[in-house]
Amino acid sequence: MKIDHLETITLRFEYADGFRYAGGQCTARVTSLVLVHTDSGAVGIGAAYSHPGLVHLIVQEQLAPLLIGENPTDVEAIWQKMYRITRWYGRKGVAMSAIGAIDTACWDLRGKSLGKPVWELLGGQRITCPAYASALLWKEPAALAEEAARLIDRGFRRVKMRLGYGGDADRAAVRAVREAIGPNNDVMCDGSMRYSLEDATTLAEFLAENNVFWFEEPFEPEDIDSYVALSSRASPPLAAGENEFGLQGFRELIRAGALDIVQPDVSRCGGITEAKRVADLALTAGLRVAPHSWSDAVAITANAHVVAALPHGITVEVDQTGNPFVEELLVEPLTVRDGHLTLSKAPGLGIELNPATLNRYRLNDPLHHICRTARTPT
Ligand SMILES: [Mg+2]
């Protein structure tokens, strides 16, 4: 099997109303899919969550000429080849996300050529993966309570809410969700990088008292010292990683003792190959893994394959904000029952893209799309 060509598909969706969070108002969503077409007719599917124009440029102008004619099932060799050629401007950010999309598509093809699902190739023993609802953006407490109860009714057992309101409003929001979901379900809190060490320390005590499952990204990703300081104080487990890239970036966080839960995202940090390396490193440090996933159903599925293969994999994130790239992108939509996503036994990632969704949201000129209104990772 040889790579024939690479196809990038940029998707963009505008909300009727959008939602508010600590970073502002979100009015639209974007994501990039990368298809690896082969001479055998088999097609591998991957996703990148980054600036869509730059993903398109790097995939088509830099990586495609390098990969055409290569055997896509040589996944690790292809990863090294892509990393070496992008290192001088890559290492973190969009180049790693573009590499990751191709890497994920190559894993899909490796599975298809061997007749096995990716989770099994990664050493997994279970076809199901715990999954949590990612939603509960900025609203009044009563509306948050109503939404949280609805998510539990939908089959989730864990929900993630956004904080960053500050002061008493944070507390009122957490109390409302905690009461709505009851003591037998879990709530996680995302700080959206909006806290000082002092404010996060005070809030973390309250979150611990309310049995919050993890406290995510209270600080900006560069502020490793604050993560280290907070991790030694009374707090729920500290989680971060959606804004980190590559094994070396995660190694820095892990070595510093900054985190309890590591959140690599296959569609951002460098693909299935790199997410698995990060997860293996986390295991040696006694940490747990819960990938970030916010962009589309391909990314969620790829992250779920990794989690399903990990003894220390906790759960995967499933966007519940009404994102069509989560709900309508696959012929067989993702379903969560009793807090678990069931993966497919079909070879590779076991997914098929819905052509009607691609046609409806496809952006023909990703290079000239400006991400002013696009969602930042959360
Ligand atoms: Mg987040």
Asked if 329 contacts 354 with a C-beta cutoff of 8 angstroms, the reply is yes
Q: Are residues 158 and 44 in the same domain?
A: no
Q: Are residues 90 and 205 in the same domain?
A: no
pLDDT in tens, 210-225: 999 999 999 999 999 9
In a domain, 133, yes or no: yes
CB atoms within 10 A of CB 20: 13
Residue 243 CA, ligand 1 centroid: distance in Å: 9
Q: Are residues 185 and 326 in the same domain?
A: yes
CB atoms within 10 A of CB 333: 11
In a domain, 58, yes or no: yes
In a domain, 257, yes or no: yes
Asked if 340 contacts 131 with a C-beta cutoff of 8 angstroms, the reply is yes
Asked if 326 contacts 334 with a C-beta cutoff of 8 angstroms, the reply is yes
pLDDT in tens, 189-200: 999 999 999 999
Q: Are residues 71 and 103 in the same domain?
A: yes
Residue 150 CA, ligand 1 centroid: distance in Å: 21
**pLDDT band of 278, cuts 50, 70, 90:** very high
Is 292 assigned a catalytic role? yes
Catalytic residue among 56, 292, 305, 369: 292
Q: Are residues 180 and 317 in the same domain?
A: yes
Which tokens go with 196?
Answer: 């000082």
Q: What is the pLDDT of residue 365?
A: 87
Asked if 279 contacts 313 with a C-beta cutoff of 8 angstroms, the reply is yes
Q: Are residues 19 and 81 in the same domain?
A: yes
Q: Are residues 111 and 128 in the same domain?
A: no
Residue 349 CA, ligand 1 centroid: distance in Å: 24
Where do we find the tokens 């700080």? 191
Per-residue pLDDT at 11 exceeds 80: yes
Per-residue pLDDT at 374 exceeds 60: no
Q: Are residues 123 and 257 in the same domain?
A: yes
In a domain, 299, yes or no: yes
In a domain, 376, yes or no: no
Residue 293 CA, ligand 1 centroid: distance in Å: 9
Beta-bridged to residue 162, according to DSSP, are 190
pLDDT in tens, 43-62: 999 999 999 999 999 999 99
Q: Are residues 303 and 227 in the same domain?
A: yes
Per-residue pLDDT at 370 exceeds 70: no
Q: Are residues 266 and 326 in the same domain?
A: yes
In a domain, 306, yes or no: yes
Asked if 177 contacts 136 with a C-beta cutoff of 8 angstroms, the reply is yes
Residue 71 CA, ligand 1 centroid: distance in Å: 36
Quick one: angle between helices 75-86 and 94-114, nearest 10? 170
**CATH code (residue 65):** 3.30.390.10
**pLDDT band of 377, cuts 50, 70, 90:** low
Global confidence as pTM: 0.97
In a domain, 334, yes or no: yes
Asked if 47 contacts 295 with a C-beta cutoff of 8 angstroms, the reply is yes
Q: What is the total count of domains within the chain?
A: 2
The rounded mean pLDDT for the chain is 96
Per-residue pLDDT at 24 exceeds 70: yes
Per-residue pLDDT at 372 exceeds 70: no
Residue 161 CA, ligand 1 centroid: distance in Å: 9
Question: Which uninterrupted H or E stretch holds 325?
Answer: helix 324-327
In a domain, 32, yes or no: yes
H-only helix segments in 210-265: 224-231, 246-256
Percent of residues, the chain, with pLDDT higher than 70: 97
Residue 190 CA, ligand 1 centroid: distance in Å: 5
Q: Are residues 260 and 183 in the same domain?
A: yes
Q: What is the pLDDT of residue 367?
A: 85
pLDDT in tens, 71-125: 999 999 999 999 999 999 999 999 999 999 999 999 999 999 999 999 999 999 8
The amino acid occupying position 337 is R
Asked if 263 contacts 290 with a C-beta cutoff of 8 angstroms, the reply is yes
Q: Are residues 55 and 197 in the same domain?
A: no
Q: What is the pLDDT of residue 371?
A: 57
User: Alpha-carbon distance 293 to 134, whole Å?
Assistant: 9
**pLDDT band of 162, cuts 50, 70, 90:** very high
Domain that holds residue 275: 119-351
User: Alpha-carbon distance 378 to 375, whole Å?
Assistant: 8
**CATH code (residue 128):** 3.20.20.120
Which tokens go with 214?
Answer: 């993890």
